[in-house]
Amino acid sequence: MSKALTSSLLGMDLGEFSVLVSEAGEPAYRAKQIMEAVYRHRVESVAEIATLPQPFRERLEHSGVTLGAARIEKKFVSVDGTVRYLITFADGQSVETVWMPEGDGGEAGDGSEAGETAERLADIPGPGTSGAKAEESEPIAALKRCATQNLRSQDRHRQDRTSSGRSTICISSQVGCAVDCQFCLTALLGVKRNLTAGEIVGQVCAVLRDQRVSPPEDRINLVFMGMGEPFLNYENFVKASRLLVEGVGIAERRMTVSTAGIVPRIYDFGGESIRPKLAISLNASNDALRARLMPLNKKWNLDMLIAAAREFPLRTREWITFEYVLLAGVNDAPENAREVAELLRGMRCKVNLIALNPGPGIDFTTPSAERVTVFQNILRGAGTPAFVRRPRGRDIYAACGQLKRTVEVATSPEPQIQSISRVQQ
Ligand code: SAH
C-alpha cells in the first residue's frame, strides 16, 4: 500500500491529495474537494467529506486513511476570557493551544491596531504620493477621518456579530521545548518530539471549531508562540504556515512566528514565499546576560542574531518584533534598556516588553509596573517603539512562558488557579 494511503489527511497539501486521488483512480478534481473539506470546512472524519462519493470514502477508510484529528482533551477558561486548550494527538502526546478573544497576539495597546487602520487608509489615494511626504489637503484629511470612523464602526459591527473581531490563536510547534530558557515553564518539560504539519494545523482547526469562527470572514490572528521552538521544527512549521494560509484561510499578514534565535533558520526564513511575520525573543541586552538566561546564546550570540535581523528582508509596512521578558533586578535596569536601544538602533523594529509571568520552579520575579515604564520610556526616548504586553490568562497558566500541560496545573496546589479557572469538558 502506498504511503499516502496509510497517513492522515490533516497536514497533506494539494499535491499530496492529488497523488492519493490518482492512486485511487478517482478524477483529479477530487483533490481540491478533499482540500476544501479538510481545511475550509474542517471535517472531523473521512466519513464527513460529503463531496466525495460514498464508495470512495469507504475505500479511503478501509485503506487506513484517517483525518488525523487533534482532540481537545481539556479546556480552561480565564477570568479575562482567554481559553487554554489541552490538545491530544494520535500517540497520546499533548500540547497547549491558547485562544485570546479580542486579543491581538498579546500586543493590545501596542499601536498595532492603529497601524492596521493606517495600513488600510494608506490605500486611499492622496496628493503627492511619490517623493517626499506632501501636506494633506483638507478634503483628503476629511476623507481619511471619515474612513477611520467607518472602519471603526465596521469593526464594532464585526465584534458584535462574532465577538471575535481580533481574536488570536497561539499555537505550539513541539511537545515541550529544547531551548531551555531559564524563565520559561515549558523548558522544564524538555523536548518530547516535533509536531507534524498536520498536528500544528490541527490545533487551529480544533480551536476554530470549538469557538465557532471561520476565517477569512472572522479576522483571526495566529501566533507561533506556544510550546516549542518553531525554527527547530522548521520544515513542518513552514508547511503548516502554507496550509494555514492556502487551506484554512488565515491571512498571511495576521500570522507571526516567534523564535528564540535559531540564526541559520532566520536566514532561511527570509527566503520563504509564504511567511508569517518575524518576532525574535531578545530577553537580554548583552551576551553575558543572554547566555545565562538563554543558553542558546552560546551558540548564536547577539552579534550573529542582530546581524541576521538587520539582513532580514522586510516587506512593505513590515517590521521585526523583539520580545523582551523583564525579570526584576536581572535584565530590567535602565542600563539594560540603553543597551537594547543601542543594539536595535536604526532597525525597522519594535519591542514588546513582557513582565515575567511567574510559575513554580521559576527563580525570577516580576518587576513593578513603574520599573517597566521606565524601561519602555528609555527605548522610546531612543527612537525605538516599545509596548508593554498585557498578560493574558495568567490565572489559568495560559500566559507567555506558562504553558506546561494542563493536567499538571489542574492538580496544582495553588489555590488561586483552582478557584479562578473553570475547567470544561
Ligand atoms: N520558542 C519561541 C516561541 C515560544 S516563547 C521563542 O522563544 O520565541 C514565546 C514568548 O514568551 C517568548 O518571547 C518568550 O521569551 C516569552 N516567555 C517565555 N517565558 C516567559 C515568562 N515566564 N514570562 C513572560 N514571557 C515569557
pLDDT tens-digit profile of 360-380?
889 999 999 999 999 999 999
Ligand 1 midpoint to CA 400 (Å) = 5
Nearest to 326 by CA among 262, 261, 401, 384: 401
pTM of this structure? 0.84
Ligand 1 midpoint to CA 18 (Å) = 39
Ligand 1 midpoint to CA 281 (Å) = 7
331 lines ligand 1 (CB under 6 A): no
Ligand 1 midpoint to CA 156 (Å) = 31
229 lines ligand 1 (CB under 6 A): yes
How is residue 74 written as a grid cell?
Answer: 481539556
Query: Which residues does the chain have with pLDDT short of 50?
Result: 1-5, 104-164, 407-425
Measured from the CA of 357, which atom of ligand 1 is nearest?
A: 23
Nearest CA to ligand 1 atom 9: 225
Distances (CA, A) of 217 to 100, 170, 248, 383: 17, 19, 11, 37
Q: What was the pLDDT predicted at 133?
A: 34
How is residue 295 written as a grid cell?
Answer: 543558553
Q: What was the pLDDT predicted at 8?
A: 94
How many separate helices (H) and strands (E) can be counted in the chain? 14, 13
Nearest CA to ligand 1 atom 7: 260
Nearest to 65 by CA among 49, 87, 50: 49
Per-residue pLDDT tens digits for 105-147? 444 334 343 334 333 333 333 333 333 333 333 333 433 443 3
Q: What was the pLDDT predicted at 399?
A: 87
SS3 344: helix
SS3 15: helix
Query: What distance in Å separates the CA atoms of residue 203 and residue 201, rounded to the nearest whole number?
Result: 5
List the catalytic residues: 96, 400
325 lines ligand 1 (CB under 6 A): yes
Q: What was the pLDDT predicted at 335?
A: 98
Q: Phi/psi of residue 320, each to 5°?
A: -90, 140
Q: What was the pLDDT predicted at 366?
A: 97
How is residue 276 written as a grid cell?
Answer: 508569517
Ligand 1 midpoint to CA 26 (Å) = 46
258 lines ligand 1 (CB under 6 A): yes
Cis before 139? omega within 30: no
Q: What was the pLDDT predicted at 348?
A: 97
Measured from the CA of 226, which atom of ligand 1 is nearest?
A: 4
Question: Hey, what amino acid is at 317?
Answer: R
Question: Hey, what amino acid is at 387?
Answer: F
Q: Which residue has the cell 509571568?
A: 357
How is residue 379 written as a grid cell?
Answer: 527605548
Query: What distance in Å separates the CA atoms of residue 214 and residue 205, rounded to the nearest whole number?
Result: 9
Count of beta carbons in the 10 Å neighbourhood of residue 126 = 16
Q: What was the pLDDT predicted at 165?
A: 62
Q: What was the pLDDT predicted at 140?
A: 37
